[in-house]
Amino acid sequence: MKKLILIAATAGIIGGAPILAEAAPSDDLKAFRSFFQKKFPNVKLDTYKDGIYSLDADRRAAWEEFEDFAPPYEDGVELGKKLFNTPFKNGKSYASCFDNGGIGIRQNYPKFDSKTGDVVTLEGAINACRKANGEKPYKWKKGKLAAVSAYMGYTSRGKKMNVTIDSDPRSMAMYERGKKHFYAKRGQLNFSCADCHVYNSGSMVRGNLLSPALGQSTHFPVWRKKWQKKSEAKGKGGPTAGFGTLHRRYGGCNKQVRAKPFKAQSTEYKALEYFHQYMSNGLVVNAPGLRQ
Ligand code: HEC
Looking at the fold, whether 68 and 103 belong to one and the same domain comes out as no
Looking at the fold, whether 89 and 68 belong to one and the same domain comes out as no
Answer yes or no: is 114 within a domain: yes
Q: Whole-angstrom Cα distance, residue 225 to residue 47?
A: 22
Number of folded domains that form the chain:
2
Distance 37 CA to ligand 1 centre (A): 19
Could you tell me if 34 and 15 are in contact, meaning their C-beta atoms sit under 8 angstroms apart? no
Give me the amino acid identity at 230. Answer: K
Looking at the fold, whether 139 and 245 belong to one and the same domain comes out as no
Looking at the fold, whether 173 and 260 belong to one and the same domain comes out as yes
Looking at the fold, whether 64 and 81 belong to one and the same domain comes out as no
Under-70 pLDDT residues of the chain = 1-22
To 5 degrees, how large is the angle CA 94–CA 85–CA 270?
Answer: 40
- The question of whether 196 is a catalytic residue gets the answer no
Task: Choose one of 154, 175, 199: the last residue of a domain.
Answer: 154
Q: Using the atom order of ligand 1, give the atom closest to the CA of residue 256.
A: 1
pLDDT value at residue 23: 78
Looking at the fold, whether 94 and 228 belong to one and the same domain comes out as no
Looking at the fold, whether 64 and 182 belong to one and the same domain comes out as yes
Answer yes or no: is 159 within a domain: no
Model confidence, pTM: 0.94
Task: Choose one of 116, 132, 154: the last residue of a domain.
Answer: 154
From residue 73, alpha-carbon distances to 47, 230, 242, 250, 252 in Å are 21, 15, 8, 20, 20
Looking at the fold, whether 64 and 176 belong to one and the same domain comes out as yes
Looking at the fold, whether 24 and 147 belong to one and the same domain comes out as no
pLDDT value at residue 68: 87
43, 192, 197, 268: which to mutate for ligand 1, most atoms within 8 A of CB? 197
Answer yes or no: is 269 within a domain: yes
Distance 211 CA to ligand 1 centre (A): 7
Could you tell me if 43 and 54 are in contact, meaning their C-beta atoms sit under 8 angstroms apart? yes
Answer yes or no: is 183 within a domain: yes
Answer yes or no: is 181 within a domain: yes
Tell me the residue range of the domain where 111 lies: 74-154
Looking at the fold, whether 37 and 63 belong to one and the same domain comes out as yes
Q: Whole-angstrom Cα distance, residue 109 to residue 164?
A: 9
pLDDT value at residue 22: 65
> Which of 74, 40, 83, 29 lies closest to 200 in space, CA to CA?
40
pLDDT value at residue 69: 86
Answer yes or no: is 239 within a domain: yes
Answer yes or no: is 160 within a domain: no
Looking at the fold, whether 172 and 253 belong to one and the same domain comes out as yes
Nearest CA to ligand 1 atom 9: 253
Distance 213 CA to ligand 1 centre (A): 8
pLDDT value at residue 133: 98
Answer yes or no: is 286 within a domain: yes
Domain containing residue 114: CATH number = 1.10.760.10
To 5 degrees, how large is the angle CA 159–CA 36–CA 64?
Answer: 55
The set of protein residues with a Cβ atom below 6 angstroms from ligand 1 is 51-52, 191, 193, 195-197, 205, 208, 210-211, 216-217, 222, 249-250, 253-254, 256-257, 272, 276, 289, 291
Task: Choose one of 133, 154, 175: the last residue of a domain.
Answer: 154
Looking at the fold, whether 103 and 15 belong to one and the same domain comes out as no
Residue-wise burial string across 128-155, b where 16 or more C-beta atoms lie within 10 A, e elsewhere: ebbeebeeeebebbbbbbbbbbbbbbbb
From residue 288, alpha-carbon distances to 22, 58, 80, 82, 112 in Å are 33, 21, 11, 16, 23
